[in-house]
Structure 1
Amino acid sequence: MIRLIRPYISFAEVEHDMRRMFESGIFTRGEHVEAFRDEIAAYARAPHAFLATSATTALWLCLKRLDIKAGDEVVVSDFSFPATANVVEDLGARPVFADVSLDTYNMLPEALEAAITPRTRAVIAVDAFGNPTGMNKIAEICRSHNIPLIEDAACAIGSSEDGKPCGSIADMTCFSFHPRKLLTTGEGGAITIRNPDWVDWFNRKLSHGAQGMQGYGLDFVDFGYNFRLSEPQAIMGRAQLRKLDAIVAERNEVRDACIEKLAPAGFVPQQIGDDVVFNVQSLVFKVPDGVDRDQLITQLRKDGIETTIGTYCLSATTYFRTQYDDVQPNAELLQRTLITLPCYAGLDVDLVCERVLAAITLSECMA
């Protein structure tokens, strides 16, 4: 089976630091955790960064910082993994779904403007599959309405728009280090923020509410949580961050080669802006007209190629459709028509594309 993605890390890259960690017995809050946090901030050109257990806990904590609660509304990109809206729902607020572009798959500025009401307390905009196209425009709209912007950059580490890395555009940005991401720590995530007044709050909340020492113990000045990344995870993250730009370049080479072979057959790639660096977290195409996307996925798996859908129209999921009955048409169409293909260095692009093109000629794959 040709897998969808392979991690960009080997044991040899981390063996020395892992061995030293085992010898020291320090598995949490060690030198690599501190270094990784600082390196994420520097890479994203963000004033402040924090490490978390996942992008989901990172998003949830950002909403807690904004004191989001029952009766509030948060505008959410409608084409994303459910975690983006789940964190809003969990706090008792209402996710208001904004439709997305059929080309970039990102939140439409006009949809955001239409979704803002006097109850809007925040916006969560998603870099779909790592593509930040239009994020600066979304940030401009949020500033004009004095509404905080949280960038769900779960997929977007290594991407940028207009020379601004993801992590430096929004008020708060959340990254994921899940195994499907370019940089993985198994599970894990990070937060970057711009407001210096929030630094102590995030440090406390991520670590049980502790701040400083009192006698021989910690001084707990607030209530908080254990959302900390571990030392072995930080070692893994640092090894990949050092070569992240090269990883992004390799994935773009694969993307370009696939577009060249598949576009003439009607596969439409995700569009990116002229001033965008796209990390290609997922290589996504709209299938040709007349092709049944689900049957194509089934056939390719039979042929030894792992593929999957793009992602989800959140407003069309059973839970949110039942709660709000506000399905967004573009996001729903994208959920039905996008396919994600394998993308990593060393991929046999010719073989993958040959099998994709052969599959769409089969009657089983025709809508």
Structure 2
Amino acid sequence: MIKLIKPYISFEEVESEFRDVFESGWFTKGKYVEAFREEIKKYTGAKYSFLATSATTALSACLRVLDVKAGDEVIVSDFSFPATANVVEDVGAVSVFVDVDKTTFNMLPDDLVRKITKKTKAVIFVDALGNPSGIHRIKEICNKYNIPLIEDAACAIGSSERSVKCGNIADLTCFSFHPRKLLTTGEGGAITTNSERMAQILDIKLNHGSVFEGGKFDFVDFGYNYRLPELQSIMGLKQLKKLDGIVENRNLIRNEYINLLSPLGFRAQAVADDVVYNVQSMVFLVPEGIDRDHLIIELKKNGVETTLGTYCMSNGTYFRKKYNNVQQTSLFLERNTLTLPCYEGLDVKPIVEAIRKVLNA
């Protein structure tokens, strides 16, 4: 089976540092955690960075930083994994779904403006599948209406727009280090911000609501243990050092896919001219008239692992029953996008041949 992705890390790369941790017995809040935090700051250009157990817990912490409460509205880009809206529901706020562009798969500025109200407490922009195209335009709108912008950059480590790295654009940015991501720590995530005030709140919230003063902890707020351990931080450090090379390689694979699949009617996710795209997921719109789900099943029979692009959150049973406001372009993309394998050393040609075989092309 040709898998969707393979991790860019081996045991040999981390073995000596893992041994160091085991010999020291210092498994959490140690030097590797601090080193990983520092390197994320340097890489993204953000002033502050924090590690978390996942992008989901990172997003949840960001909503707490912004004091989002029951009855508040949070506007979210609809084409995303449901975690983006789940955190909104968790604090009792209202998820307001914004439809997306049919080519970039990202939040539509005009639809965002239409859905801003006096109750809007935050906007969550999703870099769909790692693509940040349009985020600066969304930031301009948020600035105009004085609304904080959270970037769900779960997929976007290594991407940038207007020569600014993801992590250094929004008021708060959240990354994921899940195994499907370019940089994986097994599970894990990170938050970046340029706001000193937000950083101070995060520092407390992510450590059980505590501050360390006079040789002891004082719990000045309620908080959480969302900390990433030392071993996972070592994994992150190793991959972050080679991330730009990974991104460059994935773009070469993307170009080869486009050259071979465009003549068959497959259309790749569009990327703005001023964007560096990390190609987190190699996603195509399937040709008109093709049953995407059938294609996935048949490709698996031919030894190729594929999946849908991602989800129309507003069409999930929970959100559809609660809000009855399905976003139509997002729904179209959920039903007609296909994610293909992409990793170092991949031979694209057998995958394309398998597609040709299934389509009889």
| TM superposition score category, shorter chain reference | over 0.9
Residue correspondence of structure 1 range 320-335 to structure 2 within 5 A? 320-335=319-334
Same amino acid, percent of matched pairs: 60
Moved over 4 A (4+): none
Mapped pair 1:228 → 2:261: no
189-198 or 236-245: bigger deviation: 189-198
Q: Show the counterpart of 2:146.
A: 146
The answer to whether the 8 Å contact 1:155/1:281 transfers is yes
Q: Show the counterpart of 2:109.
A: 109
353-362 or 47-56: bigger deviation: 353-362
Deviations 1:304-324 (A, max 9, x none): 000000110011111100000
Q: Distance in 2 between matches of 1:79 and 1:200?
A: 31
Per-residue deviation, 1:356: 1.1
Amino acid at match of 2:84: T
Q: Show the counterpart of 1:211.
A: 211
Per-residue deviation, 1:97: 0.4
Q: Distance in 2 between matches of 1:357 and 1:134?
A: 34
Q: Show the counterpart of 1:300.
A: 299
The answer to whether the 8 Å contact 1:69/1:92 transfers is yes
Per-residue deviation, 1:345: 1.0
Q: Distance in 2 between matches of 1:145 and 1:220?
A: 35
Amino acid at match of 1:85: A
Gaps of 5+ in 1: 363-367
Amino acid at match of 1:43: Y
Per-residue deviation, 1:214: 4.1
Amino acid at match of 1:245: D
Q: Distance in 2 between matches of 1:122 and 1:221?
A: 25
Amino acid at match of 1:338: T
Q: Show the counterpart of 1:289.
A: 288
What secondary structure, in the 3-state scheme, does the structure 1 residue paired with 2:212 have? strand
What secondary structure, in the 3-state scheme, does the structure 2 residue paired with 1:301 have? helix
The answer to whether the 8 Å contact 1:262/1:357 transfers is no
Per-residue deviation, 1:361: 2.1
Q: Distance in 1 between matches of 2:55 and 2:276?
A: 21
Deviations 1:230-274 (A, max 9, x none): 000000000000000000001101100011000000000000000
Q: Show the counterpart of 1:179.
A: 179
Q: Show the counterpart of 1:252.
A: 251
Gaps of 5+ in 2: none
Per-residue deviation, 1:290: 1.2
Q: Show the counterpart of 2:262.
A: 263
What secondary structure, in the 3-state scheme, does the structure 2 residue paired with 1:190 have? strand
What secondary structure, in the 3-state scheme, does the structure 1 residue paired with 2:202 have? helix
What secondary structure, in the 3-state scheme, does the structure 2 residue paired with 1:80 have? coil
Q: Distance in 2 between matches of 1:357 and 1:280?
A: 23
Q: Show the counterpart of 1:118.
A: 118
Residue correspondence of structure 1 range 8-19 to structure 2 within 5 A? 8-19=8-19
Q: Show the counterpart of 2:21.
A: 21
What secondary structure, in the 3-state scheme, does the structure 2 residue paired with 1:312 have? coil
Deviations 1:296-343 (A, max 9, x none): 000000000000001100111111000000011100000000000000
Residue correspondence of structure 1 range 79-118 to structure 2 within 5 A? 79-118=79-118
Amino acid at match of 2:86: N
Amino acid at match of 2:129: F
* Matched pairs, number: 361
Q: Distance in 1 between matches of 2:115 and 2:280?
A: 28
Mapped pair 1:50 → 2:50: yes
Q: Distance in 2 between matches of 1:81 and 1:44?
A: 23
Per-residue deviation, 1:348: 1.3
The answer to whether the 8 Å contact 1:101/1:330 transfers is yes
Per-residue deviation, 1:4: 0.3
Amino acid at match of 2:257: C
Per-residue deviation, 1:221: 2.3
151-160 or 17-26: bigger deviation: 17-26
What secondary structure, in the 3-state scheme, does the structure 2 residue paired with 1:79 have? coil
Q: Distance in 1 between matches of 2:198 and 2:344?
A: 39
Q: Show the counterpart of 1:59.
A: 59
What secondary structure, in the 3-state scheme, does the structure 2 residue paired with 1:261 have? helix
Amino acid at match of 1:49: S
Q: Show the counterpart of 2:4.
A: 4
Amino acid at match of 2:358: A
Per-residue deviation, 1:108: 0.5
Q: Show the counterpart of 1:336.
A: 335
Query: What's the TM-score once normalised by structure 1's chain length?
Result: 0.97
Amino acid at match of 2:178: H
Query: What's the TM-score once normalised by structure 2's chain length?
Result: 0.99
Q: Show the counterpart of 2:317.
A: 318
Task: Kindly report the root-mean-square deviation, in angstroms, between the aligned alpha carbons of the 2 structures.
Answer: 0.9
What secondary structure, in the 3-state scheme, does the structure 2 residue paired with 1:29 have? coil
Q: Distance in 1 between matches of 2:348 and 2:198?
A: 46
Q: Show the counterpart of 1:365.
A: none
Q: Show the counterpart of 1:36.
A: 36
Q: Distance in 2 between matches of 1:183 and 1:30?
A: 20
Amino acid at match of 1:134: G
Q: Distance in 2 between matches of 1:165 and 1:238?
A: 18
Q: Distance in 2 between matches of 1:357 and 1:70?
A: 51
